[in-house]
Amino acid sequence: MARALELLDAGQVVALPTETVYGLAADALNPEAVARIFEAKERPCFDPLIIHLPDQKALDQVSEIETETVQRLTQTFWPGPLTIVLRKRDTIPDIVTAGLETVAVRMSANPIFTEIVGKFGRPIAAPSANRFGQISPTQASHVLDELGGRIPLIVDGGPTQHGIESTIVRIVDGSIEILRNGPVTAERLAEFAPVVRTRLSSAPLAPGQLPSHYAPRAKLVVVDALESFSGPSGKRIAALSFRDSTALRRYWTRAHLSERGDLREAAANLFQRLRELDRQNPDLIVAELVPAQGIGAAINERLRRAAG
- Supply the minimum distance, in Å, between the C-beta of residue 54 and ligand TXA: 14
Please choose, out of 2-10, 121-129, 222-230, 257-265, the segment that lies near ligand TXA by the rule CB under 6 A: 121-129
| Residue 175: other Cβ atoms inside 10 A | 15
Q: Does 189 bind ligand TXA (CB under 6 A)?
A: no
Q: Which of residues 15-54 bind Mg ion (CB under 5 A)?
A: none
Of 15 and 307, the one with the shorter C-beta distance to ligand TXA is: 15
Q: Could you say which of Mg ion, ligand TXA, none residue 156 binds, taking C-beta under 5 to 8 angstroms by partner kind?
A: none
Q: Could you say which of ligand TXA, Mg ion, none residue 104 binds, taking C-beta under 5 to 8 angstroms by partner kind?
A: ligand TXA
- Supply the minimum distance, in Å, between the C-beta of residue 215 and Mg ion: 12
Of 216 and 282, the one with the shorter C-beta distance to ligand TXA is: 216
**With 0-12 CB in 10 A as exposed, 13-18 as middle and 19+ as buried, what is 103?**
buried
Q: Which of 83, 114, 128, 185 binds Mg ion (CB under 5 A)?
A: 128
Q: Does 208 bind ligand TXA (CB under 6 A)?
A: yes
17-37 as b/e, with b when 16 or more CB fall inside 10 Å? bbbbbbbbbbbbbbeebbbbb
Give the length of the chain. 308
Answer whether 82's CB lies under 8 Å from 169's CB: yes
Of 127 and 296, the one with the shorter C-beta distance to ligand TXA is: 127
**220 - beta bridge partners?**
285
Please choose, out of 17-25, 220-228, 260-268, 273-281, the segment that lies near ligand TXA by the rule CB under 6 A: 17-25
Binding residues for Mg ion, rule CB under 5 A, total 1
Please state, in angstroms and rounded to a whole number, the distance separating the CA atoms of residues 37 and 145. 16
Q: How far is CA 249 from CA 118, 201, 226, in A?
A: 49, 40, 11
Q: Could you say which of Mg ion, ligand TXA, none residue 79 binds, taking C-beta under 5 to 8 angstroms by partner kind?
A: none
Per DSSP (E only), the strands in the chain are 14-16, 23-27, 50-52, 80-87, 102-107, 124-125, 167-172, 175-180, 195-197, 219-223, 237-241, 253-256, 284-288
| Amino acid letter, 83 | T
Q: Could you say which of ligand TXA, Mg ion, none residue 53 binds, taking C-beta under 5 to 8 angstroms by partner kind?
A: none
Residues that bind Mg ion (CB under 5 A): 128
